[in-house]
A and B are shown apart, each in its own frame.
Chain A
Amino acid sequence: MSTMQPVYLDADWALSQIGDVETLNGMIVMLEESLSRDIPLISAHFQAGDVVAANRLLHGIKGFVPIFCREAFCSRVVAVEALSKDSHSTSAGPAYEALRPDLEQLLADVNEYLNGGGL
C-alpha cells in the first residue's frame, strides 16, 4: 500500500458527486484510460498544427475534470481549452505544454489510486 498523497485527484470530492464507490472506481479506470491516451495525443495534434483536434480532446477533459479535481486545477484546464478554441492560435500549444506536467501528475495520482485499491 502506497502512502503518496494525491496532488490533484480528490477522491472524496469525486465520491460526493458520483454517489457510490463502485461507480467512482469504474470512472477512475476510464479516467486513467482517457488521460493515458489523450495527454500525448494533444501534444501531437498541436505539433502537427491541428488545433481543432487538440481542442476536441481538451474540451472533453475540461468537461470531466471537475468531477475529480478541485476548482484551482480545473480553471487551468479551462484557460488552455479556451485558447485552443481559436484554430489559428499560436499560444495554445505552449500553454498546453505548460499544463501537461500537471495533467501527468493527475494521471500519476490516478494510477496511485488504482494501485492502492481505491477508497
Chain B
Amino acid sequence: MDIKRARVLVVEDEKIMSTFILGNLRRLGILDLFALEDGTAALRDMASIKPDLIVTDVHMQPMGGIEFVRRLRAASNAQLANTPVIFLSADSSAATVGEALPLGVAGYIVKPPSLAALNAKVELALNGPKTPKRP
C-alpha cells in the first residue's frame, strides 16, 4: 500500500507529542489522520474510523496503549482486531517493551521518533519487510 493513502489513528494524551507525531506523519505525505487521547476513546471509535494503522502511546489515562491493543486484538471483528500497531513511548524499559511486543505489534519506537524511524516503521507496518532483490 502507498503509505500516503493510509488512514492513521494516533492515540496520544500528551498534546505536544500528539502534534509532533501528526506533523511528522504529514511530512511523510499521510493526510488521512485521526487523533484520540487514550485507549478508551480509541476502542470506542475504532469501528467508525477503520484505520489502516494505529500509532499509540503506552502510558495514558484512563486506558493505556497496552491494554487498548490487548482488547483490540480480542475484538470479534477480525479486520479491526488485526489492525497494525506501532507503539511510541518514552518508556524503553525491558518490562514495558516485553509486555508490548507479544501483542503482535509492527514496531516500538522510543519518543520522540525521528522522521526516518517513523517512516521505516510505518512502511514496515503497512507493507511488511522489504526483501532484497536477487542479483
Contact = CB atoms under 8 A, between A and B. Distances in A.
3 interchain residue pairs of minimum CB distance: A63-B90, A63-B111, A64-B16
Contacts of A20: 23
A67 B20 contact: yes
Interface string A59-86: 1101110110000000000000100000
Contacts of A64: 14, 16-17, 20, 111-112
A30 interface: yes
B59 interface: yes
A66 B112 contact: yes
A58 B112 CA distance: 15
A23 interface: yes
Interface residues of B, number: 18
The A contact surface, by secondary structure, is helix
A114 interface: no
A23 B21 CA distance: 11
A27 B16 CA distance: 6
A60 B114 CA distance: 17
B15 interface: yes
Contacts, number: 51
Interface residues of A, number: 19
B5 interface: no
A42 to B, nearest CB: 15
Contacts of A63: 14, 17, 89-90, 111-112
Contacts of B89: 63
Interface in A13-33: 17-20, 23, 26-27, 30-31
B23 A18 contact: yes
A27 B91 contact: no
Contacts of A17: 20, 112, 114-115
A20 B115 CA distance: 13
B71 interface: no
Contacts of A60: 14, 17, 90
Nearest to A33: B15
